[in-house]
Structure 1
């Protein structure tokens, strides 16, 4: 079941033994960096749990249903945006072209839907399974509501996915079995990207550096890279050459990129500038840019200050 999951031997062993020994926990916390296989591991684990109640020839159909999210015993929760009375996932918001000024969150009403889902017996499986992606985005009210469910999950297993135990309320962590996931070495990253048909990413060293051992992050970074005007990208990869140039770059970024893309661009520029110039002051200046954007300062003004500062830094020998 775990053939597609590369480089996470400890997690695979812990989850496999739990099923084999019939000691599946009521709740798990999958912790590790984005894009290292936590969500894929959850799907593989669910396949293993659900396959015990079906015939071997039905496994392929089961796998498709789980990956499409349409199995009646599976409830998959993602952080959402609130838009015109609707809840939209990040993918749905991007598809609709919704401008996103704040990150998505797991909302109290989503936890209530989990409670409702778990109130009925499992269908076509021996247990219900709930997965919460980016569990660290839960508001306190949502986390407290989930705590009640974790105390009495009934005939179910919950899987929380988060970057670290510290990012989730301690009361939730204490009720979960922790499963660690680790960043991959370069060879494993290359293997994953090649197997998933994303070999073209290997041509972009900044993207690979940005991913830092996370194939999923490399794919996400590459996809984000494709949405940015290539001419603009080439211009900002070089430090400004004049005050006018600095102000023009700030204007273009403010006009062409939403807040999420601007925040991503900061990470990309840190990698690119570091590879070219190796000046710590530039990295620190870009961190100030991130902080100012997150505090909802006027983006054009933030970038004007950034590029004027980069101009001054680049002129210092």
Structure 2
């Protein structure tokens, strides 16, 4: 169809070049509307979803993070009894479409196996290493992995199994990343996740300290920033935090973004104000929203697609911002 249409345009442009150009633009827009918004950019725009993946997913996003399916407590709630099916489905969905896939999460204080707390440190370490190894073997094309989440705010109860605080104060984090580097695919980017960093919170300096400890040992590939309720954070603070984090020399990934308001016009204005600060920053290499369909989001008013399938104005603006002719190309 496109070749036939192109021949028509070449024939038609000699008589009406402006109309031919306009028609071509409309064709491109129509084509783009059915593809992922970040196609052609040098960074991804993804979302979080557990299976079943929504039918509309591939119309908007080109990266996938399972919300809960990849957490250790979901996979192995009973020792040596594994539920890989939801995680397999999410991984296969992403691989079949050429999407980036991020494993969430290997080590975290919440949603971890309850049986781990009763084990001695030596056995805990063996179980952690087995968990990492199983993930690495099962998902050979894993793009990114959240190695440690909520590193400061919510450390795991079994951190002694990873060496505890040790001499650096963060030996357990270093050990977790060493195991990830050892057992995950060589091409997988390893991320450190924390909340209240993008807003310059009280743990900001300590977080950067941990990043440097990992970077000195070539263990970290990305900083993952929790960005829930971004509407409450001043853009100057966001920009300053991103600048300081970029200065570490480690890539930034927005781990879980939502910008919410019950009022469509207000949400649109907030997206227009906040999103470009993230997307256009040179240090940011990808953004993952945390849900997009009404009644299926982390933040109740953060949805972009109504339950009847219609887009809120913020989503329509986002498509225009990211696709031809748009207002920005990364």
**Same fold, judged at TM 0.5 (above):** no
Q: Which has the higher contact order (CA 8 A, sep 6+)?
A: 1
So what's the TM-score if we normalise by structure 2?
Answer: 0.29
Which structure dedicates a bigger proportion of its chain to helix? Answer: 1
So what's the TM-score if we normalise by structure 1?
Answer: 0.30
